Chains A and B, each alone.
Chain A
């Protein structure tokens, strides 16, 4: 049973005979035996890697939350994932071509993001980290807006209140508290909308995430904590973040935690809908751990070959979220070749548009440095703005 977390697995301590071999080796043994990660994780899964619909005891309670999903809806989810992957791939290429300073790829995490993102209502509010390109897609944020930060022309190019999609947050875990506070406000307003906070397995080690769990639990706030456990926090594996499965952490705070197959878009949709409904019904927070994998680097700055094995990556390739839905659609006659061909065409159009928009992005005006530092103005900013403007104007033909 994965819901209402069962007791945490206790780490087995090393034996006395091991200890005799030396304190150092005993410590290493204790760490190694404490890892629950080698075991096959219990997952809520509705679609196998081979594309077959399944229902286990663990997933039975969630299946009704996608009972209304039609074949057309499935094609829509597939389209979302394909276009998101295409956008992401284009951004990675643009970084390699020097058009972006950095890119944080979501490759491999499309199902977690599209499944959860499509579970949301318009009036729900999303607090992302910096990799939620698929969720942004679901919220209707123009994907090219996500690139401004990575190109270095702004710190986020969209109005958060237009799509109820907050700006990307780079300090990991900070946004889980913003989400909790926002949810406290939703409850005060008597609204029935919900809030969702995205974060990663690495961020789960941050104190802010623990404080967000505490606040949301004691105030019974309508917030869903959606952790994409992609197995790696830059080069740190999950064994360096936790000694019990992440979803079980919720139990200590007094709310349910669920581990869902993060590469199964249908299961992610179902579990997130369930968690959002709990929030709307006044049942408080939920932790969803989407068990997934970051197929690429953390960002374009790092090199995963230095810290993880090819066999591991290959094993996850077999669980690809897009291929499994394609297999399902093909096997059930839910989509034909014409659909896939048309989608391919649409992908190309999107890629082309992204390239063109990025290359055409103008640098911001120099004086933008001084804009929006304060809402009510500030004497020092005014003084420095005037001084810098005078300095620039002092050049021949200056601005």
Chain B
């Protein structure tokens, strides 16, 4: 059956399985990805079926994982690397930024770097320090990298395969608190382009733009606003580098208002770039300044405070009200 109801976690697992079956050059690498199947079980059963040469348990060394993946890509492989948690990507940040991102450019296009770095990211699971961060801006800012995040099972399935097929390095942020959300996946569908924004809910009064874990919050906010007679459109950006400004602009020109929502700190975040560019593109369409809702300029708080830190329904609706009040 083409359409299945899957959790995001299972959709990712199926997607990796498909990639391993399709291309013998695809490799899975990371800490605990083999016998354990990853701490979130995203690689569950893959080593059993594809062997230790394809699904590789690595030493606990993130720079080593990414650095050797670069070498494997130079040899013609397509490594899909798992970083166990968002806060652990920083030991590999040097390899990602100074090496992976620049290899194609500095070789004048002679070398391709088809490396995918999967990172379970963002908060909402009550974890300890360094297990709930949203560092997407730090990667989106780097030329040479592509940065995406699915918000639902279908995108999880398709976007991961598209990322693996890409000849550019892709940072693939998985919203870990949504791993167990179920959705329909049509494995025979023709998927959206990897970097295209998608209207997740149509509306006429205001556009809410989000990606990854915040799409669900925005959909809930739009449903709540509808009960108050407000028609809110939700755009799932899906990609933070590049950002589909054309798609977003089309929405904002319809609704004339924009609120951007993400978990990462607002200051110099993805929302800042969107606010600047949409203001430039849609200056004469906008009825209100572009507003942003997100994390604070503070370390990610202890788990008992994360409900206050993370944008929830009320903070999003408050921003909707502020925008509509102009």
Query: Given the known A-B contacts A167-B106, A174-B95, A174-B99, are A376 and B166 also in contact in the complex, defined by CB atoms under 8 Å?
Result: yes
Query: Given the known A-B contacts A188-B53, A218-B59, A373-B143, are A178 and B99 also in contact in the complex, defined by CB atoms under 8 Å?
Result: yes
The listed residue (A181, A183, A218) touching B67 by CB distance below 8 A is A181
Q: How many residues of B contact A (CB 8 A)?
A: 47
The distance from the CB of B71 to the nearest CB of chain A, in whole angstroms, is 2
A166 at the interface (CB under 8 A from B): yes
Whether B146 and A207, one on each chain, are in contact in the complex, defined by CB atoms closer than 8 angstroms, is no
Whether A178 and B110, one on each chain, are in contact in the complex, defined by CB atoms closer than 8 angstroms, is no
Q: Mark B2-35, 1 if CB is under 8 A from A, else 0.
A: 0000000000000000000000000000000000
CA distance A360 to B324 in the complex (A): 62
Whether A178 and B242, one on each chain, are in contact in the complex, defined by CB atoms closer than 8 angstroms, is no
Q: Mark A164-191, 1 if CB is under 8 A from B, else 0.
A: 0011010100101111111111101100
Whether B107 and A156, one on each chain, are in contact in the complex, defined by CB atoms closer than 8 angstroms, is yes
> Which chain B residues border A167 with CB–CB below 8 Å?
106-107
A-B interface contact total, Cβ < 8 Å: 141
Query: Given the known A-B contacts A211-B64, A376-B168, A378-B241, are A177 and B58 also in contact in the complex, defined by CB atoms under 8 Å?
Result: no
B244 at the interface (CB under 8 A from A): yes
> Which chain B residues border A154 with CB–CB below 8 Å?
106, 108
Of residues 49 to 108 in B, which have CB atoms within 8 Å of A's CB atoms? 53, 58-59, 61, 63-64, 66-77, 91, 94-95, 98-99, 102, 104-108
Whether B64 and A208, one on each chain, are in contact in the complex, defined by CB atoms closer than 8 angstroms, is yes
> Which chain B residues border A334 with CB–CB below 8 Å?
none
A380 at the interface (CB under 8 A from B): yes
CA distance A174 to B99 in the complex (A): 8
CA distance A207 to B59 in the complex (A): 14
CA distance A214 to B67 in the complex (A): 12
Whether A373 and B63, one on each chain, are in contact in the complex, defined by CB atoms closer than 8 angstroms, is no
User: Which residues of B are in contact with A by a Cβ distance under 8 Å?
Assistant: 53, 58-59, 61, 63-64, 66-77, 91, 94-95, 98-99, 102, 104-113, 143-144, 146, 166-168, 195, 241-246
22 contacting pairs across A/B (C-beta < 8 A): A155-B102, A157-B108, A160-B111, A161-B110, A178-B67, A180-B71, A181-B68, A181-B69, A181-B72, A181-B74, A181-B75, A182-B75, A183-B71, A211-B59, A218-B59, A373-B143, A374-B144, A375-B113, A378-B168, A378-B241, A379-B242, A379-B245
10 nearest CB pairs, A to B? A181-B71, A177-B67, A185-B75, A181-B68, A211-B64, A155-B106, A375-B167, A182-B71, A372-B109, A379-B242
